[in-house]
Structure 1
Amino acid sequence: MRPMTLTARALPLQDRALPVRDANAGGGDDASPFGALPEWDLTDLYAAPDAPEMKRDLDWLEEACRSFAEDYEGKLADLGAEAFLDCVKRNERIDAIAGRIMSYAGLRYYQLTTAGDRVKFMSDMQDRITTFTTPLVFFTLELNRLPDDHLDGLFAENAELARYKPVFDRIRAMKPYQLSDELEKFLHDLGVVGDAWQKLFDETMAGLSFYVDGDEMGIESILTLFQDHDRDTREAAAREVARVMADNLRTFARVHNTQAKEKEVIDRWRGMPNAQTGRHLSNHVEPEVVEALRNAVVNAYPRLSHRYYELKRKWLGLDRMQVWDRNAPLPGGDQRAIGWEEAQETVLSAYAGFSPRMAEIAQPFFDKGWIDAAVKPGKAPGAFAHPTVTEVHPYVMLNYLGKPRDVMTLAHELGHGVHQVLAAGQGEMLSSTPLTLAETASVFGEMLTFRALLAKAETQAERKTMLAAKVEDMINTVVRQIAFYDFECKLHEARRGGELTPEDINAIWMSVQAESLGPAFDFMDGYETYWAYVPHFVHSPFYVYAYAFGDSLVNALYAVYEDQPAGFQDKYFDMLKAGGSKHHKELLAPFGLDATDPAFWDKGLSMIEGFIDELEAMEN
């Protein structure tokens, strides 16, 4: 998932509730200036909501959950190694079927979030699967009551069972925060209520209309105007976003207040020390590693964003930067719309330049209906790659508008797709990568595409434009996302003290924006509401630091690739194939990297500094 200009879509893998268009829907718009854009073909999941295979799988799932609980509840401690392996495999199969159903329901929904039948179908599937799987809550609870030496003995006895140890380690990391069996089942059932607030956010956002120069558009289209060459157009778009956000601010404040309070209550009952703890546990990353990353980035604000935006202010010929200038293209930059075929060729050729195998894995996404690219009314904003289940394949969603950043978004999401295809061999329980590592392949795919394009630059002016665009993307990925993380930390901490008014949340937002963007900027009235449309805050609290983690990690990886290219591709593919089967320390060791070393983050940030150094040198 990519941090778009100001927004991104984060979809928790465990929810499996994602978007799609019916297989028999019409094709892309041949009249589009970008060429015919692809749409999803979901038949590899199900042919239709009422397909017989859907009923078959729902019936199977209900019985499989019932019999699993009947066969194993209260008995895990008595299982031998072989019987325990059978138990794990049955659990894994349940996960695969439930994931397949929710992937189909979710993808249909996100492709047209305003369609009542799709909303109902997804909600119904969530309700049914939650009901079916409630009896399975005992599994992790009983697993966490087993002594360490008991599990170690089972692993020593059966090598195939031992392969699942990383899954058990992540489950058992929650052991200190586990509640009673009854309360855990209650929270499992109550999860659909929390999901309803996410759907309210999605449906409200998808239903918003914005008007610029008499044209009506959705959130994705108006955000694209922030990159328009005409400053008056950018200003009009920025003020219109502020107007619409202000008109809907009570709804968005209610969503954030409710979700933050729900999280505070659950965290308090679990005894978690702060709101971020759950995310760190799910990411399998130590809190001190995240804190080191956060501090390194914040300390680098003057060397990164402050310095770059001062350069950009001069390039634009402005006395002061306004928020609508942040993503403005440089004077003289390429204004043409980039066609879909050109975007495809650009990314695939860059991938092939790194390794033909990488391009071969990516090619079916274009050929087999695994990408949905067009911007349509009611479609969810942003972009993502959803892995579905390991026996099918991922699906990529874009909102393609022919901008250079859209090409980079394609490279980013295809990187996720390649990663997910390679990790599928680990199976359902081990393929899912923690968010901190899930961004590795996506950001690496962007870097490959950027480097390939930069190598073709024929003039210094062209090179300058490309370097500046890359620096802006990296600042959006690192600086902006850490500012988002600080915003969330402050918001959740403040919510513990009571209800937050929209003005309270606005003030928290502004407290991190000036610090991260720097002294070159003025902030228009209304910018304080821009927190309202960032979906990560609603769908996946504290997801955002994963982008900065991934970008800095990739910068360090790419430096290793440049210094020691021999054998790098094989090590890189081995890392992706590992999925969630290894800790980040183990994955990075073959490259001589260690994310627990505070100096690691400075190494990643130094690449951004180097690009800014080159841009400054061009001014002399």
Structure 2
Amino acid sequence: MMEKISYPNVWNLDKVFDGGSKSIQFLEHIQRLEELVHKLEGNVHSFSSSISTEERSNVIDVIEEVGNIRLNFSQANSFITCLLAQNPKDQDAANVRGKVAQQESRFEKVLSKVKKLVSNTDENVWRALLETKEVENYTVILNEWRENSDSTVSEEEESVISDLMVDGYHAWGHFYHDLISSITVKIKIEGKEEHRSVGQAINLRSHPSEEVRKEAHDALESVWDGKKDLFAKILNHIAGFRIQVNNKRGRSNLLEDPLKQNRMKEETLHTMWSVISTYKQPFSKYLKRKAEMMGDCSMKAYNFWSPVTTNDQEITYDEAASFITKHFSQFGKELGSFATKAFQEGWIEAEDRPNKSAIPFCASFPVTGESRVFMTYSGTFLNMLTLVHELGHAFHNHAMKSVNGLNKRYPLSIAETASTFSEMIILDAAMNKAKTDQEKTFILDEKLKRSVMNFMNIHSRFLFEQRFYEERKEGMVSPNRLNQLMEEAINEAYDGSFEQPSIHSWIWTPHYYITQSPFYNFPYTFGYLFALGIYATAKEKGKEFEEEYLNLLRDSGRITVEELVMKHLGEDITSKEFWEKGMALCLKDVEEFMNVTAD
């Protein structure tokens, strides 16, 4: 009999910085960051108003300094994020976060000066610089700096904006996460009242009992209704600041910044949504069939994540870890050894306990070449998929270890690719393991939930955010109006196939409050369909595809998404044909589900 392996379900942060929020090592890291920023300020100050021919060699040093500083900020911010996730009341971590934010503001100011220098450089000097061998890996980023630098805003104005972001804009985002983490939800389970964190309450949406699912849904909605005024203020202030900055910089198109951040053409985004809108009807049929299997005429929101069969047996954390490592290894040697290391060396915080943050995430520590995964694991198949999703992000970080500093930052549109790809490996493995129609139905349901989330739920977020920002331009948007906008967006995105949706989902969806990334919704859908296309190729080629996959991930921070797809897949993503190939795999899942569940 094979010996069962036990894995730690509480992470080891001391390997990154020993001592937690009181770590001397971490404080020394922050001091080093301050010194690096100060050095960069001096080097940039030595330049004239633009880059001259004589100063070209100094540009290489500045580029490498910027990349190095970014990696060190990422290391610091990830550590603070982990500390506050495991203990939202860690005041020492909150205090240190403020110190790091101040240094980051200084860095952003000097970086804006670098971008001004790049923007002001004579065209001939610029071309000669790009032809220099040392900068060939930074061509895309340098051109972005040159094209995106805002000549209409002075250095003094940019400095003021950066200062205001620390205690204004970004502070609202931090306040949101602190507030969500502090909320306790009272839920009756089998007649007994229990106190759960928001994360634990949300996990109950996949509980086998409809009574418990509805109770959790109603309890959460009641909490949100009582706090909607406060959350509306937070969201309005974040949006208001963003709109003012856009106006100052002469940007009227709200999608301009997120598209630039994602290195994506607007044509690509609209083509993707067009294809999704065309093929929504089959997924509406899936929702209706699932509702009918549960005795309803239409899908109630609190039943969406419910198990469609009684096959939802508990999966222990150790069982999940063993299953994941086994099937990751069957895809490729690199992915398998990576997963084994992550589980064995305490990279994962999964313990099911109160007073944790509600939001799963993966934190990158690029200086030490590691990641940390955070979630609450309570023994469901959904939990295992969440774990797999975050491990996919960690593998992307792992693939980027050999990439130079500036090019490690890949756009959000690619950020969900490795996570979705990893989910597909495990979902297919579970499907192949299934022996009965009941088991197959269960797995197909889990696969289709992801399609619905990306094609319908994410679309509702996109529609809501677009419409909210348009109204916010005219003034504060009331909480009741936010509820109305959310309900309208859900009805449209779900093609009217969702009953009793959470009209307060604008509160508990954290992506609306991420100040660094406006419109953090469509990248999920992009990554999902993109990953499906890559996965189809992987199934054709087998284990030999892993190296191609790694090369694609390594290139993800260096070129646009259109160039990335053309280079590695030979496809044009501004065409409907590309998106329809990924969609075809999802439609096949719908067809199989309908056949397996037919009377």
TM (norm. structure 1) is 0.89
Relative distance call for 1:480 and 1:206 in structure 2 (3 A) is same
How much does 1:108 deviate? 1.2
SS of structure 2 residue aligned to 1:217: strand
How much has 1:40 moved relative to structure 2?
3.2
In the alignment, is residue 330 of structure 1 matched against residue 305 of structure 2?
no
1:170 pairs with one of 144, 147, 159: 144
- Aligned pairs (5 A) from 1:429-448: 429-448=406-425
Q: 1:300 to 1:440 in 2, by over 3 A?
A: same
Hey, what's the Cα distance between the residues in 1 that align with 2:584 and 2:151?
Answer: 38
Please tell me whether the aligned partners of residues 177 and 272 of structure 1 are also in contact (alpha carbons under 8 angstroms): no
Residues 466, 51 of structure 1: alpha-carbon distance in 2 compared, 3 angstrom cutoff: closer
CA apart distance, 1:564: 4.7
The equivalent of 1:255 in structure 2 is: 234
1:533 corresponds, among 501, 505, 508, to 508
Distance in 1 (alpha carbons) for counterparts of 2:84 and 2:238: 21
Which of 346, 357, 363 is the aligned partner of 1:380? Answer: 357
CA distance in 2, matches of 1:415, 1:35: 19
Match of 2:470? 493
Q: Distance in 1 between matches of 2:44 and 2:93?
A: 36
Please list the CA deviations of residues 487-513 of structure 1 after superposition, one character each: whole Å capped at 9, or x if unmatched. Answer: 111111111122111011111000011
Structure 1 residue matching 2:186: 3-state secondary structure: strand
CA displacement at 1:49 relative to structure 2: 4.1
- Counterpart for residue 40 of structure 1: 12
Matched, 1:241 2:220: yes
Matched residues in 2 for 1:448 and 1:86: separation? Answer: 42
Q: How far is the alpha carbon of 1:515 from its aligned partner?
A: 2.2
Q: Per the alignment, do residues 153 and 238 of structure 1 end up closer, same or farther by CA in structure 2, a change over 3 Å counting?
A: same
Amino acid at match of 1:289: T
Give the match for residue 598 of structure 1: 576
Which residue number corresponds to residue 155 of structure 1?
130
Displacement of 1:138 after TM fit? 1.2
Q: Which amino acid aligns with 1:617?
A: N
CA distance in 2, matches of 1:307, 1:131: 53
Which residue of the partner structure matches residue 268 of structure 1? 247
Relative distance call for 1:516 and 1:87 in structure 2 (3 A) is closer
Matched, 1:319 2:297: yes
User: Map of 1:288-299 to 2, 5 A cutoff?
Assistant: 288-299=267-278
Deviations 1:525-564 (A, max 9, x none): xx32222111000013311111100111111222223345
Deviations 1:429-481 (A, max 9, x none): 10111111111111000001111111111112211111111111221133211
Alpha carbons of structure 1 residues 566 and 407: separation in structure 2 relative to 1, 3 Å: closer
Residues 580-595 of structure 1 aligned to structure 2 (within 5 Å): 580-589=557-566, 590-595=568-573
Note the C-alpha offset of 1:142.
Answer: 1.5
Q: Which of 520, 539, 551 is equivalent to 1:574?
A: 551
Give yes or no for contact 2:186–2:194 (8 Å, CA) kept in 1: yes
Distance (whole Å) between structure 1 residues aligned to residue 43 and residue 98 of structure 2 = 29
- The answer to whether residue 26 in structure 2 is matched with residue 54 in structure 1 is yes
Matches within 5 A, 1:411-490: 411-490=388-467
Q: Does the CA-based 8 Å contact 2:257-2:518 persist in structure 1?
A: no
CA 1:566 to 1:389, structure 2 compared with 1: closer, same or farther past 3 Å? Answer: closer
- Structure 1 contact 479–548 (Cα < 8 Å) conserved: no
- How far, CA to CA, are the matches of 1:50 and 1:131 in structure 2? 24
Task: Say if 1:166 and 1:298 are closer, same or farther in 2 by CA, change over 3 A.
Answer: same
Alignment length (residue pairs): 582
Match status 1:72 vs 2:44? yes
Within 5 A, what are the aligned runs for 1:123-142? 123-131=98-106, 134-142=109-117
Label 1:445 to 1:103 Cα distance change in 2 as closer, same or farther (>3 A): same
Tell whether the 8 Å contact from 1:225 to 1:233 is kept in structure 2 after alignment: yes
Deviation of the 1:66 alpha carbon: 2.6
How far apart in 1 are the matches of 2:122 and 2:524?
Answer: 36
Shift of 1:395: 1.5
Contact 2:556 2:564 in 1 (8 A): no
* Counterpart-to-counterpart distance in 2, 1:131 and 1:87: 15
Residues 458 and 208 of structure 1, relative CA distance in 2, 3 Å threshold: same
One of 363, 369, 374 as aligned partner of 1:397: 374
Could you tell me whether the CA contact under 8 Å between 1:337 and 1:402 is conserved in 2? yes
Q: 2:75 is matched by which residue type in structure 1?
A: R
Amino acid at match of 1:430: N
Change (3 A) 1:541 1:95: closer
8 A Cα contact 1:173 1:281, kept in partner: no
Give the equivalent residue in structure 1 for 2:79: 104
Instruction: Indicate how the Cα distance of structure 1 residues 209 and 568 shifts in structure 2: closer, same or farther if over 3 A, else same.
Output: same
Residues 42 and 142 of structure 1: CA distance in aligned 2, closer, same or farther (over 3 Å): farther
CA distance in 2, matches of 1:50, 1:349: 38
Matched with 1:345 is: 322
Distance of 2:83 and 2:560 partners within structure 1: 34
| Aligned twin of 1:115 | 90
- Asked whether the 8 Å contact 1:382–1:398 carries over to 2, the reply is yes
Distance 1:257-1:613 versus aligned 2 partners, 3 A rule:
same
Instruction: For 1:459 and 1:80, locate their aligned partners in 2 and report how far apart those are by CA, in whole Å.
Output: 70
Structure 2 counterpart of 1:185, from 148, 159, 168: 159
Match of 1:277 in 2: 256
Bigger shift: 594-603 or 423-432?
594-603
> Secondary structure at the residue paired with 1:163?
helix
| 8 A Cα contact 1:311 1:616, kept in partner | yes
Q: Give unpaired runs (5+ residues) of structure 2.
A: 1-5
Give me the identity figure in percent. Answer: 20
Aligned to 1:22: none
Pairing 1:222–2:201 present: yes
Deviation per residue, 1:353-386 (Å, 9 max, x gap): 1112211122221122221112333322121112
Query: What SS class does the counterpart of residue 399 from structure 1 fall into?
Result: coil
1:610 equivalent in alignment to 2:588? yes
Classify 1:280/1:466 alpha carbon distance in 2 versus 1 (closer, same or farther; 3 Å).
same
Q: 8 Å contact 1:130–1:188 — kept in the other structure?
A: yes
Contact 1:228 1:234 in 2 (8 A): yes
- Letter of the structure 1 residue corresponding to residue 204 of structure 2: L
What is the DSSP-based 3-state SS (H/G/I as helix, E as strand, rest coil) of the residue aligned with 1:341?
helix
- 1:303 aligns with one of 279, 282, 294: 282
Distance 1:564 1:149, change over 3 A: farther
Determine if contact 2:17/2:23 at 8 Å carries over to the other structure.
Answer: no
Q: Distance in 2 between matches of 1:430 and 1:301?
A: 37
Matching of residue 543 in structure 1 with residue 520 in structure 2: yes
Say whether the 8 Å CA contact 1:227–1:329 is kept in structure 2: yes
| Partners of 2:88 and 2:178 within 8 A in 1 | yes
Conservation of the 8 A alpha-carbon contact between 1:109 and 1:122: no
Distance 1:369 1:100, change over 3 A: same
Provide the rounded CA distance (Å) in 1 between the counterparts of 2:523 and 2:548: 22
Distance 2:24 2:322 in 1: 39
Residue 184 of structure 2 aligns with which residue? 209
Contact 1:390 1:425 in 2 (8 A): no
Go from structure 1 to structure 2 and tell me whether the alpha carbon gap of 1:98 and 1:313 turns closer, same or farther (over 3 Å shift).
Answer: closer
Note if contact 2:22-2:92 (Cα within 8 Å) is conserved in structure 1: no
1-structure distance, mates of 2:299, 2:59 = 62
Q: Is the 8 A contact 1:347 1:410 kept in 2?
A: no
**1: CA distance, partners of 2:513 / 2:216:** 24
SS of 1:387's partner is: strand
- Partner secondary structure for residue 274 of structure 1: coil
**Contact 1:390–1:427, Cα closer than 8 Å, also in 2:** no
